[in-house]
């Protein structure tokens, strides 16, 4: 059974004539006849009495309301897809890591809302693993996250590298580690830390680094907002390893100190080991065919990525 067969059936039922139905469907009468014969063969019953006027049989009367519903659904579906390809979608959903939502994404959001005022833009701040999961589940159209090749390896995924940024140490201004211009790993490992909750890429990155150093991460508290990190560290005892872009406000807070990790090799255990994270934008091949999604993708490339006009590499405070 094919949709055009049902459309021919409806046209005959409405006009009472194979000839008029052919005109309505913009095909020849022989084409309409073949479509009805094929439909009747599939169903095993005749749908019309072949008299002077095409009149529905009992089987035809039973089929009529169902055929109308099927053809209406088909028309609705094809119109929605046509609108989608024309950029007429009701909303665009984005999942992004906290630091990007707070500081680097707002100009992109404003520009997109100006360019597509009829598209409702919805942005959710999530950890990287969770953001990629909701993307895979079809709950968002695009994710901007910390790179995790294990979760973006499928062929339908499109991954755009935006920038790499260093991980730095956040301490209270009066914390012993704040005396260092750059903090050696050999000192850092002895201090208790506040970390992101399980499921966040940053927690996995830090844990992997400590394991590679054969050291124990003294994780005594888990939080999931930048405000919480600053508030806890400000109390004086705990420290945190956070990406550069998550420390914008902390750099202007006199009660806090931000220090890079030591990059010079001076013979001490663990020194000279830099730590960075890579931020990427992810969507699927089919979504990039939709104009609003493609436009948002390009805006992020231009304003946050490494392309012309983008940040490229480490974001800076005045950008």
pLDDT per residue as tens digits for the range 124-182: 988 888 999 999 999 999 999 999 888 888 889 999 999 999 999 999 999 999 999 99
Q: Say whether both 265 and 171 belong to one domain.
A: yes
pLDDT per residue as tens digits for the range 28-75: 988 888 998 999 898 898 888 877 788 888 998 899 999 999 988 888
Q: Please give the structure tokens belonging to residue 319.
A: 């950008």
Decide if 243 is inside a domain: yes
Q: Say whether both 116 and 262 belong to one domain.
A: no
- Out of 85, 105, 136, pick the residue that ends a domain: 85
Residue 267 sits in which domain range?
164-277
Count of domains in the chain? Answer: 3
- Out of 49, 67, 85, pick the residue that ends a domain: 85
CATH number for the domain that contains residue 153 = 3.40.190.10
Q: How large is the angle between the packed helices 18-25 and 29-43, nearest 10 degrees?
A: 110
Q: Say whether both 170 and 224 belong to one domain.
A: yes
Say whether pLDDT at 263 is over 90. no
Answer whether 314's CB lies under 8 Å from 307's CB. no
Q: Say whether both 243 and 292 belong to one domain.
A: no
Q: Say whether both 152 and 296 belong to one domain.
A: yes
Mean pLDDT, rounded, of the chain: 87
Answer whether 295's CB lies under 8 Å from 305's CB. no
Q: Say whether both 104 and 252 belong to one domain.
A: no
Decide if 312 is inside a domain: no
CATH number for the domain that contains residue 33 = 1.10.10.10
Decide if 316 is inside a domain: no
Decide if 315 is inside a domain: no
pTM: 0.71
Cβ density class 143-179: b for 16+ within 10 Å, e for less: bbbbbbeebbeeeebbebebbbbebbbbbbeebebbe
Of residues 87 and 37, more confidence is placed in 37
Sequence-ordered alpha helix ranges (H) in 92-191? 98-99, 106-115, 128-136, 185-188
Decide if 311 is inside a domain: no
At 69, which helix (H) or strand (E)? helix 58-85
CATH number for the domain that contains residue 237 = 3.40.190.290
Answer whether 131's CB lies under 8 Å from 199's CB. no
Q: Say whether both 100 and 183 belong to one domain.
A: no
Q: Say whether both 23 and 97 belong to one domain.
A: no
Parallel, antiparallel, or unpaired: how do β-strands 276-284 and 142-146 relate? antiparallel
Q: What angle do CA 169, 172, 175 make, to 5 degrees?
A: 90
Q: Say whether both 151 and 172 belong to one domain.
A: no
């Amino acid at each position: 059974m094919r949709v055009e067969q049902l459309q021919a059936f409806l046209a005959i039922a409405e006009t009472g004539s194979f000839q008029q139905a052919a005109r309505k469907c913009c095909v020849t009468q022989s084409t309409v006849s073949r479509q009805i014969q094929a439909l009747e063969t599939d169903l095993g019953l005749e749908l019309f009495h072949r008299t002077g006027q095409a009149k529905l049989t009992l089987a035809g009367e039973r089929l009529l309301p169902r055929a109308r519903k099927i053809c209406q659904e088909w028309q609705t579906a094809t119109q929605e897809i046509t609108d989608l390809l024309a950029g007429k979608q009701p909303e665009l959903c984005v999942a992004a890591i906290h630091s990007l939502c707070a500081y680097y994404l707002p100009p992109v959001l404003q520009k997109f809302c100006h360019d597509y005022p009829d598209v409702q833009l919805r942005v959710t701040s999530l950890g990287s693993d969770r953001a990629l999961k909701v993307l895979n589940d079809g709950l968002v159209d695009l994710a901007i996250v910390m790179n995790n090749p294990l979760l973006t390896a499928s062929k339908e995924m499109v991954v755009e590298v935006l920038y790499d940024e260093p991980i730095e140490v956040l301490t209270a201004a009066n914390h012993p580690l704040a005396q260092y211009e750059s903090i050696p790993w050999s000192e850092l490992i002895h201090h208790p830390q506040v970390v992101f909750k399980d499921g966040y890429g940053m927690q996995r990155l830090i844990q992997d680094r400590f394991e590679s150093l054969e050291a124990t991460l003294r994780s005594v508290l888990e939080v999931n907002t930048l405000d919480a990190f600053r508030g806890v560290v400000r109390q004086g005892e705990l420290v945190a390893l956070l990406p550069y872009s998550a420390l914008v406000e902390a750099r202007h807070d006199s009660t806090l100190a931000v220090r890079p990790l030591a990059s010079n090799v001076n013979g001490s255990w663990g020194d000279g080991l830099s730590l960075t994270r890579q931020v990427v934008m992810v969507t699927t091949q089919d979504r990039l065919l939709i104009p609003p999604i493609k436009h948002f993708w390009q805006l992020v490339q231009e304003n946050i990525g490494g392309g012309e006009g983008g940040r490229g590499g480490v974001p800076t405070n005045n950008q």
